[in-house]
Structure 1
Amino acid sequence: MNFDILKQDKAKFVVLDGKYKEKEIPLQFNPPTYSVEQNNEYSEKKLMGLKGTINQFTGTKQSDLALELLFDSTSTGGDVRELIEPLYKIVDIDNTLHAPPPCQFVWGKLSFDGIVATFKKEFTYFFSNGTPARAKISMTLKPYVKVKETAKSTDLQSSDISKKRVLLEGDTLFDMAYREYKSPAMWRKIAEKNGIDNPLDIPYGSELLLPSKGENE
């Protein structure tokens, strides 16, 4: 038997951009579970002269990575929130990027570049004074691809035609920038194109004009 495969690598995050670029965030414990999700995307089309609609396949969306992480401070008597604190380097908005920074999750042969989309804390054990001592973190990373790498495989938009997109409920300008340009920092270009002063105060259902490729160069 090859006992090398039984050696446990320590899971960690590596910040890929922003003020904490190349910063490593090792985890206290390796994840007890993780999952990936892949979706086939369809657009609804109406045909003139016919009732109803048809669903047209538009492509496959890259997988998200869902992680469950455990933290425990019962052996030290400390506050478990202090162990969680380093994760905020990839969760909070980086003021140099105006968005959470992209990161890489590394565990053995698994390597996933993504941006934190959801981050949920659940405290499951407390000391007698109410200090949390054990926590479970559930988080989802959406795939991150550099703009230059994406452009090599596909031209995301015409060089002279702008696109229109509708802001759906639960969506944000940052999400739209990531989907369209693979860069959440591009929200500024979209905001400028549409005369938006506050990206967090946009009514759902608003139709937004996305800058063409030529406008972003």
Structure 2
Amino acid sequence: MASSGQSATKLEKLTIEAYDNPQFSGTTDKKYELQINPKEIHHSYEQLGQQPALLATGKVITDVKPNEYAERMSFEFIVDATGVVEGCDDVYTDIQNLTMLTAEVNGQIHTPNYLKIRWGKKLNFTGTLAQMKISYMTFAPDGSPVRAKVVMGLNGFVDAAKKASNDNNSSPDLTHIIEVKDGDQLPVLCRQIYGSSKYYLAVAKLNKLSSIFDMQPGQRLIFPPLDK
């Protein structure tokens, strides 16, 4: 019980925010607030190991980056329409709204939304959906789900220009090597790295892409230094 003159601490709900840009800039009204906060959040880092790098001279070397990691986050939560907890009238509709926000392609950017996970003042994770598993657990007599468990996993996201800057900050003679993320577009990557999208055909040719759309998540693309 709060002491006299003190207000009770406000319960903060974990919120999933959706953005239409990899800089997560501007405000968004696309949000999903968890009805029941998760009991656990798993935050992990996977070492990427050695990467090939290209010198301006054309020589390929092995660039050892022992401190480079891929960041992951996962958590599970309950959606409940049994009436025990307020905030959900229909589980199936709630899950559809969540799927539309996190997994379905946003027609304006031709890729699923970029996601920001917020919980109070401490947790602020930016990423993209890696996987989502939905388990319907309890059903009404007519077969409608009234309780579901959602397991969500996200890949940490760093915009290509910032990553390239970090990777090459101390090695100006090295090209940028970018790992393709789901939804990346070659002209956009070129604009982020070079300040202009006009180099996308040259980059596609260098990387032996059959077209500018011939990119797969996890693929590494070489962006060579511009001729001075």
TM-score scaled to structure 2, two decimals?
0.63
Work out whether residues 97 and 185 of structure 1, in 8 Å CA contact, stay in contact via their aligned partners in 2: no
Corresponding position of 2:41: 34
1:93 is aligned to 2:100: no
- Against the structure 1 CA distance between its residues 123 and 162, is the aligned structure 2 distance closer, same or farther, given a 3 Å change threshold? same
Choose between structure 1 and 2: higher helix proportion: 1
- Against the structure 1 CA distance between its residues 78 and 209, is the aligned structure 2 distance closer, same or farther, given a 3 Å change threshold? closer
- Against the structure 1 CA distance between its residues 21 and 92, is the aligned structure 2 distance closer, same or farther, given a 3 Å change threshold? farther
Corresponding position of 1:16: 19
Work out whether residues 73 and 155 of structure 2, in 8 Å CA contact, stay in contact via their aligned partners in 1: yes
- Against the structure 1 CA distance between its residues 154 and 71, is the aligned structure 2 distance closer, same or farther, given a 3 Å change threshold? same
Unaligned residue ranges in structure 1 (runs of 5+):
46-55, 166-175, 203-207
SS state at 2:94 partner: helix
Corresponding position of 1:177: 180
Work out whether residues 118 and 141 of structure 1, in 8 Å CA contact, stay in contact via their aligned partners in 2: yes
Work out whether residues 158 and 212 of structure 1, in 8 Å CA contact, stay in contact via their aligned partners in 2: no
Corresponding position of 1:107: 119
- Against the structure 1 CA distance between its residues 63 and 160, is the aligned structure 2 distance closer, same or farther, given a 3 Å change threshold? closer
Q: Distance in 2 between matches of 1:24 and 1:58?
A: 36
SS state at 1:195 partner: coil
Q: Distance in 2 between matches of 1:142 and 1:89?
A: 16
Moved more, 143-152 or 89-98: 143-152
Q: Distance in 1 between matches of 2:176 and 2:136?
A: 46
SS state at 2:149 partner: strand
Moved more, 90-99 or 114-123: 90-99
Work out whether residues 16 and 116 of structure 2, in 8 Å CA contact, stay in contact via their aligned partners in 1: yes
Pairwise CA RMSD: 3.9
Letter in structure 2 aligned against 1:89? L
Q: How big is the shift at 1:123?
A: 0.6
1:212 is aligned to 2:223: yes
Corresponding position of 1:142: 155
SS state at 1:59 partner: coil
Work out whether residues 159 and 212 of structure 1, in 8 Å CA contact, stay in contact via their aligned partners in 2: no
Q: Distance in 2 between matches of 1:21 and 1:199?
A: 32
Q: Kindly tell me the number of residue pairs found equivalent between the two proteins.
A: 183
1:70 is aligned to 2:78: yes
SS state at 1:31 partner: coil
Moved more, 113-122 or 154-163: 154-163
Q: How big is the shift at 1:154?
A: 2.7
1:83 to 90, 94, 103: 94
TM-score scaled to structure 1, two decimals?
0.66
2:32 to 25, 42, 46: 25
1:195 is aligned to 2:206: no
Letter in structure 1 aligned against 2:74? A
Work out whether residues 105 and 111 of structure 2, in 8 Å CA contact, stay in contact via their aligned partners in 1: yes
